[in-house]
Chain A
Amino acid sequence: MANKGGVKAVLHPVVRTILQRLGLGLITLFVVSLILFSSIEFLPGDFGEAVLGQAALPETVAAFRKELGLDLPVHERYFDWLGGILTGDMGNSFSGRGSSGGTDRSRPVIELLAPRLANTLFLASMAAIISVPLALFLGITAALYRGSIYDRMVNAMTLTTISFPEFFVAYLLILVLSSFTKLFPSLANIGPDVDFWERVYLTALPALTLTLVIVAHMMRMTRAAIINLMASPYIEMAELKGASKSEIILQHALPNAWAPIVTVIAFNLAYLVVGVVVVEVVFVYPGVGQLMVDAVTTRDVPVVQGCAMIFAATYILLNLFADIISIITNPRLLHPR
């Protein structure tokens, strides 16, 4: 008890909140792992049958299940797996096991995941680097010239691109930028040895597609948050003291608008990592999404679990990040009474 009080006294409230959030994040991750594991337990089908085909004999399936440890009780397997994850070992994939003899040549999940995750993060960063500044710029200027033709144009255009399904935007871009003008390639199947600028060139179309899909959400939140603050008394005060409109928005309104904007940005960044399967398929981009879909069809459970945990961790981390930013930028949260 004394110790707890001591911590309270020593830690800055922000640090304490961050630690609290981190702890909560870990608990969430643990709950996710439980839900994930049990829901996969309930899935119909069996990897042994899926990989051995229709002709699989019951005894071959049983031998295979034993080899994979699927015959152990559920809780034992769960703690095995959880322990592995905590030590950075996600186990070995079920598939890719050698056809002959008992030798195990399956690949570690990490080895399968790492290059794909790097690709996904690369594409997500490309899209983020284009879309976040663009969305902020459009949102702020739209708020600045609220009600003008410019504002309406920006609104209409971003709403149009978000309303189309991603694959449609992707195909449109392929048609215009790849088939007609030959500016960019329609295949973005990058390899590990591709150098940086080549990589940027190859991923241009998928990144552009994602940008078009997410920019509206962030831009509209920026615009709305700023406009909302414009009615506050302190903005009126700034107006009265003679500050220009852009000064008011950038120096007075924006700092207080960060919280909602950052939340939406974090949400969209998380989407860039976990929700781009369709774009990956259209551009044949070797990312985590395709890996997970592959793994689900072959019922390669360790890979599915690995992907899902990474997705969950991404969501939790980005939300944590958004929380922290909104606390730091918000004086009321920064100095709680």
Chain B
Amino acid sequence: MDIKDLEKAAKAGKLGRREFIKRAGALGIAAPFAATLLSQSVQAAMPKKGGYFKLGVGHGSTTDTLDPGTHENGFMSDTVYAYANHLFEVDNTQKLVPELAESFEASKDAKTWVIKLRKGVEFHNGKSFGAEDVIASINHHRGEGSKSASKSLLDPLVEMKKTGSHEVTFQLSAGNADFPYILSDYHLAILPEMNGKMDWQAGYGTGGYIIEKFEPGVRIQFKRNPNYWKAGRAHFDEVEVISLIDVTARQNAAMNEEVHVIDRVDPKTVHLLSRNPKIRILETTGTLHYTMPMRVDQAPFDNYDVRMALKLAVDREALVKKILLGHGAVGNDHPISTANPYHNGEMPQRKYDPDKARFHIKKAGMENQQIDLSTSEAAFSGAVDAALLVKDTAAKAGININVVREPKDGYWSNVWNKKAWCTCYWGGRPTEDWMFTTAYVKESKWNDTAWTTGDAADRFNELVVAARSELDTDKRRTMYNECQQLVNDDGGALIPMFANYIMALNNKIAHDDVVAGNWDKDGNKAIERWWFA
């Protein structure tokens, strides 16, 4: 039996999804790839076209504009992914695939990237897509005076040249194997070029939906692009995204079937919402994690044993159960989530172990001495309760934690990144390099654990730089595994939990078996990927 036969069997309904993946595995095809095959062959046959889809999101503000450099919330990411395309896209199985790019080639040092573009693609205004659009769109975020959120991401980009009508060559100042990932960032939408500049004002893209009407902070309406180049995507005839900031209003709208999908369901009431027979709850584990960074440049956290004692004195299961009300996963003291490509799944999960914690705290000579933990609801919803829970579980190990309640106002400027130990959250980044470079390398201003010196930290910083330009995925995996281990063991990061994205879907809505977790709502691409069953 070869893969074609398997596909046929699956299409005929003789083979379930699990069975398909198992047998494909026997044929030597890795599970994620098999799942893609399945979603391409079986599920692609199922989606139906049509319908007026209403999506209620807990974001949106009157200050939103169509300028992709200013996008900062879920409402605008949904919008930009609906009407525009990017050079690359993270698909529903978390794999990076070319979108407006057709193929790419990197030099050995990962400094030069030649990206071939898709031909025959048209913008909504009829302009055909080519290299000049890519250059204008990327340049929009660069240069003096740019206030784009992606400016720093593009800092390593030295030069961009049109090397063909449908080919662009990117020159980086240092090798970066994740460069295509950066090009999938929602800010870096490819919009038409006009007089050498990107024209975002008109609202034309190459995406599956054409903007009909946009009222910032209220709603946006789309109709399907009849000319869409991507096969098997953009199923709805019309789409309306409605900004429903208030969580009760959002959940009411879903219950009364005034919208078909809502995001950011309140964990406290999700069990009540799930009782509604018309509604299905969808949860994905994403990259959002809650942390308690200890600054290793301040006493007593400069002592490895104190850090280890505290890491062992936290009951992660209880935190997930009581603070996230079960809607999340335990963390392993490193910021890489299962939604990231190189998550280290082999490392043993750190567990609550009061005896070992007592051993370490004794070794440090800090038994029953007061350790301050600064916290506020500003860090994340339930942060104060989480700190109190940590205090209780640590007390059983002879650790005396004093929970300090800080004011919400100014928490991020006065407490976080300043006090020796506090509560914090991180919205996660799609790649390991992105996450580590943002908050863990020694040059970062946001290095909230101040973990910059010592053998382990040196090794970590070396590895991050080396892994950045390593194109061999196996070698990269080894490097990132070690990075995660180093942060987990020696670092000051105490990361007890990852929060889920919780959405409520009307039963009429269908989607592929695998839903992306890199962002809410199938990677903010529900508009393009989902359909009416």
Residues of A within 8 A of B (CB): 44, 52-55, 60, 63-64, 93, 95-102, 105, 112, 171, 174, 178-179, 182, 185-187, 189, 191-193, 281-284, 286, 290-291, 294-295, 298, 300, 303
Contact = CB atoms under 8 A, between A and B. Distances in A.
A284 B141 CA distance: 33
A56 to B, nearest CB: 10
Contact of A286 (B64, B218, B256): B218
Interface stretch (B105-113, B240-248, B368-376): B240-248
Given A99-B68, A186-B258, A192-B215, 7 more contacts: A97-B70, A101-B146, A281-B245, A281-B249, A284-B243, A284-B253, A303-B62
B475 interface: no
B252 A99 contact: no
A186 B249 contact: yes
Contacts of B445: 55
A171 to B, nearest CB: 7
B217 A286 contact: yes
Interface string B140-181: 110101111100100000000000000000000000000000
Say whether chain B's binding surface is mostly helix, strand, loop, or mixed: loop
Contacts of B253: 186-187, 284
A189 B218 contact: yes
B38 to A, nearest CB: 37
Interface string B58-81: 000111110111100000000000
A101 B141 CA distance: 9
B104 interface: no
Interface string B176-220: 000000000000000000000000010000000000010111110
B249 A283 contact: yes
20 contacts: A44-B410, A54-B412, A55-B445, A64-B147, A93-B63, A96-B65, A97-B70, A98-B69, A99-B147, A99-B149, A100-B67, A112-B62, A174-B252, A182-B256, A187-B252, A282-B249, A284-B242, A291-B62, A291-B217, A298-B63
B242 A189 contact: yes
Contacts, number: 115
Contacts of A55: 152, 445-446
- Contact size range, B: 35 or more
The 5 closest A-B CB pairs, nearest first, are: A99-B69, A95-B63, A99-B148, A99-B147, A186-B252
Interface of B: 61-65, 67-70, 140-141, 143, 145-149, 152, 201, 213, 215-219, 242-246, 248-249, 252-253, 255-256, 258-259, 409-410, 412-413, 445-446
B63 A294 contact: yes
B223 to A, nearest CB: 15
A256 B52 CA distance: 58
A281 B140 contact: no
A293 to B, nearest CB: 9
B217 A294 contact: yes
Nearest to A116: B62
B140 A100 contact: yes
B145 A294 contact: no
Contact of B256 (A44, A52, A101, A179): A179
A193 B219 CA distance: 13
Nearest to A67: B145
A100 B146 contact: yes
Contacts of B149: 53, 99
A52 B242 contact: no
Given A178-B252, A281-B246, A282-B246, A102 B63 contact: no
B60 to A, nearest CB: 9
B63 A187 contact: no
Contacts of A60: 147
A53 B72 CA distance: 11
A284 B145 contact: no
Main SS class of interface, A: loop
Contacts of B410: 44
Contact of B145 (A53, A100, A193): A100
Nearest to B438: A55
Contacts of B242: 187, 189, 284
A100 to B, nearest CB: 5
A95 B61 CA distance: 10
Nearest to B146: A100
A295 B412 CA distance: 20
Nearest to B142: A100
Nearest to A57: B445
A174 B246 CA distance: 15
B84 to A, nearest CB: 15
A93 B61 CA distance: 13
Contacts of A96: 63-65, 70, 216
A100 B218 contact: no
Contacts of B70: 96-99
A101 B246 contact: no
A100 B148 contact: yes
Contacts of A283: 249
B407 to A, nearest CB: 11
A303 B245 CA distance: 20
A180 B30 CA distance: 50
B67 A105 contact: yes
A55 B155 CA distance: 15
A46 to B, nearest CB: 11
B295 to A, nearest CB: 17
A284 B215 contact: no
Contact of A105 (B65, B141, B146): B65
A192 B201 CA distance: 20
Which of B143, B145, B216: most chain A CB closer than 10 A? Answer: B145
A191 B63 contact: no
B256 A186 contact: yes
Contacts of B64: 96
Contact of A44 (B63, B218, B409): B409
Contacts of B446: 54-55
A193 B214 CA distance: 12
A284 B248 CA distance: 10
Nearest to A295: B62
A95 B258 CA distance: 31
Contacts of A281: 245-246, 249
B254 to A, nearest CB: 10
A101 B409 CA distance: 32
Contacts of A192: 215
Contacts of A294: 61-63, 217
Contacts of B246: 281-282, 284
A286 B244 CA distance: 11
Contacts of B152: 55
Contacts of A298: 61, 63
Contacts of A105: 65, 67, 201
Given A98-B70, A281-B246, A300 B256 contact: no
B145 A101 contact: yes
A182 B256 CA distance: 8
Of A192, A284, A294, most B-chain CB atoms within 10 Å: A284
